[in-house]
Structure 1
């Protein structure tokens, strides 16, 4: 019989962008799929901006993590980084607002970034840039293929597209990322990575990649359609 660790699953969830209803339904799907087995949820960042309920998403994730801190991993995305930068100066705030920040302010009933509750800001500041489970490297945007994983720059982890997206170089881990929305609404699996930003905020699905002990790439996917009831 396989041991408990062999039965454990990891669920990685792509860019949420304020789509609270889809997030709640997808987390419920993951929990149902895991059943009584060991499981971990890894959220890849970009919880805020553009979509209708950034505040609700943050509150949902904070509450989820409070009850299961070891099983709930929330990573920082570039949109969280934009908000944190906005707290430092007016020019940075304008950049954040032009990248979807107005929707976040509306969800908080706030006039500017400094009106967002400090516990939420503190939580955003605490978010790590990556999670490494020795088979997979979970990160928001990706990695620079010319740098070892332990020498990656913060900007690349949060923002990179090329040359990462075109590279088939294997860096010792299978890379799990979001950040670049897929117009097909379906995850993209490559030899060295999987992209699970399936464009929930653009009316497409919110996706979770399911991983188990049988190999580094995902074994399958779960998704929630915004129009499904």
Structure 2
């Protein structure tokens, strides 16, 4: 039974990422598995640089890792390439990211390898049963025609319960402390882990349709008590 584990918005919480990797490894009982991280590795929390470095360096004979792009990585990259005002990013948590690199407003401290990694992150992962994405997909148009604004920024309207055709959609981005929020067509995993200290991981059976068969939880200190630089 092949499993895929989905990890939502980490926002600089290296402690929760490490806890998730440990818990998933134990849960998989030595079998091969896939992890899909749903984006938003940076901003708000204290260890954005460290989260990126951990994901970039993660190698395992049993683990297949796929990291998706979130809107916060898009903001970081766009600002670092001088395509947006620095204040826009800083006001949305980028100040914490720069602090993790040891700077206040100097974008030159961000290694080009990190920016290249962000640039290459895919926007979506699709298997036979599900669509994994940071924010949302438009159910009215083919997956191949989805635009970046939707995939990175859109929030589903209140009460919308659908997926995309026969596929279940797994996403983060729409922060809600009540996560996981599950409907027939989609699952929102973003429980505001960076501030609550509670990270929800969805466990999906690759050849079984629908939502998660199980949810795992990792706990760390809430934001006021979390480790800071």
SS at match of 2:24: helix
Could you state the TM-score of these two structures normalised by the residue count of structure 2? 0.89
Task: Tell me which residue corresponds to 2:142.
Answer: 148
- Trace 1:108-123 onto structure 2 (pairs within 5 A): 108-110=101-103, 111-123=105-117
Task: Tell me which residue corresponds to 1:176.
Answer: 170
Task: Tell me which residue corresponds to 1:105.
Answer: 98
SS at match of 1:12: strand
Task: Tell me which residue corresponds to 1:223.
Answer: 217
Contact 1:22 1:225 in 2 (8 A): yes
Task: Tell me which residue corresponds to 1:62.
Answer: 56
The yes-or-no answer on 1:166 pairing with 2:160 is yes
Task: Tell me which residue corresponds to 2:82.
Answer: 89
Measure the CA separation in 1 of the matches of 2:123 and 2:158.
Answer: 17
Contact 2:185 2:210 in 1 (8 A): no
Task: Tell me which residue corresponds to 1:3.
Answer: none
SS at match of 1:106: helix
Measure the CA separation in 2 of the matches of 1:114 and 1:34.
Answer: 40
Q: After alignment, is 42-51 or 209-218 more displaced?
A: 209-218
Report deviation, 1:162: 3.5
Contact 2:9 2:40 in 1 (8 A): yes
Measure the CA separation in 2 of the matches of 1:192 and 1:214.
Answer: 14
Closer, same or farther: CA 176–223 of 1 in aligned 2, 3 Å:
same
Contact 1:149 1:171 in 2 (8 A): no
Could you state the TM-score of these two structures normalised by the residue count of structure 1? 0.89
Contact 1:139 1:157 in 2 (8 A): yes
Task: Tell me which residue corresponds to 1:128.
Answer: 122
Task: Tell me which residue corresponds to 2:44.
Answer: 50
